Amino acid sequence: MVLSSTIAPQSKVTELTDDTKYDSLNLEQKKKAWPMERHRSAEVSQAILSKIGHDGFQLCHQPQIPEIVKGGCAPISSCDPSGEFTADSNGMHRHTITDAAWEALKQSIVYFKGQPIGTLAAIDKSQAELNYDQVFMRDFVPSALAFLMKGEPTIVKNFLVETARLQSREKMVDLFKLGQGVMPASFKVHHSHPTKKTETLLADFGEIAIGRVAPVDSGLWWIFLLRAYTKYTRDSSLAESPHCQRAMRLILKLWLSEGFDTSPALLCADGCSMIDRRMGIYGYPLEIQALFFMALRCALSLLKDSNDDFVYQITKRIKALSYHLHSYYWLDFQRLNDIYRYKTEEYSQTALNKFNVIPESIPDWIFDFMPSRGGYFIGNVSPARMDFRWFCLGNFIAILSCLATGEQAEAILDLVEERWEELIGEMPLKICYPAMENQEWQIVTGCDPKNTRWSYHNGGSWPVLLWLLVAVSVKLGRPHIARNAVELMERRLAKDDFPEYYDGKTGRYIGKQSRKFQTWSVAGYLVAKMLLDDPSNLRAVSLEDDGHIREPVLKRSNSCPGLHISH
């Protein structure tokens, strides 16, 4: 079905010459200054449009995914079923955006043998699929949380069971066999015999991925999701089942194996996590370390035998990892000044500059970026190298897992408020800051055309990260930060067809290679809304404080902020 494009009436737009003038406007003037709609022509799915105006959402257990979008994608929430744009003084009705998001999430569901098993990475048929037609472990996490909070846990249970089965498969890259504990990065349903309707699952453990990198984060997210399912459903039978216990132990065996490392952090290759292309995160990236900490704490609560060797190893590793990250990754104004004054070539047990970081290697931008009030965990620490970039996911997971102390958690959100324009801008949320450009971009990314400055993983803005910002804001009792970010996103997200990411220093432009109807952009928004509407949903994603994990670390007040919900 093809709809003629609708053009919003031309409203009088306040003339703005710079950002300062815009900031000086009052709220009503800002509302008038925001254009309500843009002209666009595209083919719209009747399957989505016919249901946008309906309240509620029912999970439809259909044997196959409906063919909902053909050719270009049009905004599924900028029209009501009659094709008219729906807006009030704030732009789109939030109710309509939420309905559209639920419908888009429903249309992304993948079925295996008649049962829901996950969600597609994207349902944008206007571009080449690559691997966006697969179910990704990390991408499914916000979808799973949305279904859990909506009271639809079946799809999450099926996902956990089937991925645990996929883990047991032999994993080969060329002539090399991967460890047993490796979880798949993604999988897809393969119809091997169309007439007999035979279905099998094809998994990718990194052997066919771009760059051929195994997904270190998949196992970490799997344990996190198992704990979220158990916490939300109050049903421990899945976690205690033999196949889930075995899957957990295989993952833990892989993580806790001894090697040549002198650090409790996990050594990783570039491209092993959400940032899945060459971006200079090789070594000990914060995202992996924070997820590692989170997953270890989740595993402690999920393992059946609390007296076995795994529990002892996990407890030791948690304390060592916590000490390491607090000692060497935390950065605030005072710490930056200390590093700036470091001496080098220290050879002793009492050395302050243990990694022999050269002060002249500190980038110029950090001195202006670091406010007097605020702080964060930096991106990476290894011999003679500190990556001072801000990475959103790692810092927010540090708060949710209670890796960050109460003081540090508040400092991270202080930084977000102090540097709102840089980290939030016009579309939440910067995956990392700042972007690399010129010669640095050439050397570090290998001239990657997808990771140009302020695009994709190189300083791009990712709507999916909204749920993490909302979660930590609710946890710390600062929901106004979350509301401001949600309202900012609601101005454009649905009108822009739920893009994968945005480009530009402030996230003004839809990403040059961004897929539309990106499922985790849809799910991230829904989870954010449900966390704001009902803070008790936080129990699925946030851990309680355990003061013992930081006993040897800090003498000052170090309790993790308590949850503002009843358990």
Domain count, the chain: 1
Strands 385-391, 176-177: pairing is unpaired
> In the beta sheet, which residues pair with residue 375?
332
Overall pTM > 0.75: yes
Whether residue 245 is contained in a domain is answered as yes
Whether residue 56 is contained in a domain is answered as no
CA-CA distance, 285 to 361, in Å (whole number)?
A: 18
**Quick one: pLDDT at residue 125?**
73
**Quick one: pLDDT at residue 379?**
98
Whether residue 93 is contained in a domain is answered as no
| Low pLDDT (below 70) residues in the chain | 1-94, 128-129, 547-567
**Which CATH number belongs to the domain containing residue 140 in this structure?**
1.50.10.10
**Quick one: pLDDT at residue 318?**
97
Whether residue 66 is contained in a domain is answered as no
Residue range of the domain that includes 172: 113-538
Per-residue burial over 253-267, b if 16 or more Cβ lie within 10 Å, else e, is ebbeeeeeeebbbbe
* Nearest one of 246, 251, 250, 292 to 268, comparing CA atoms: 292
Whether residue 290 is contained in a domain is answered as yes
Whether residue 47 is contained in a domain is answered as no
Whether residue 293 is contained in a domain is answered as yes
Reduced to 3 states (helix: H, G, I; strand: E, B; else coil), residue 115 is strand
Q: What separation in angstroms does the CA of 529 have from each of 401, 468, 522?
A: 21, 11, 11
| DSSP-assigned states of every residue in 201-224 | EEEESSSSSTT----HHHHHHHHH
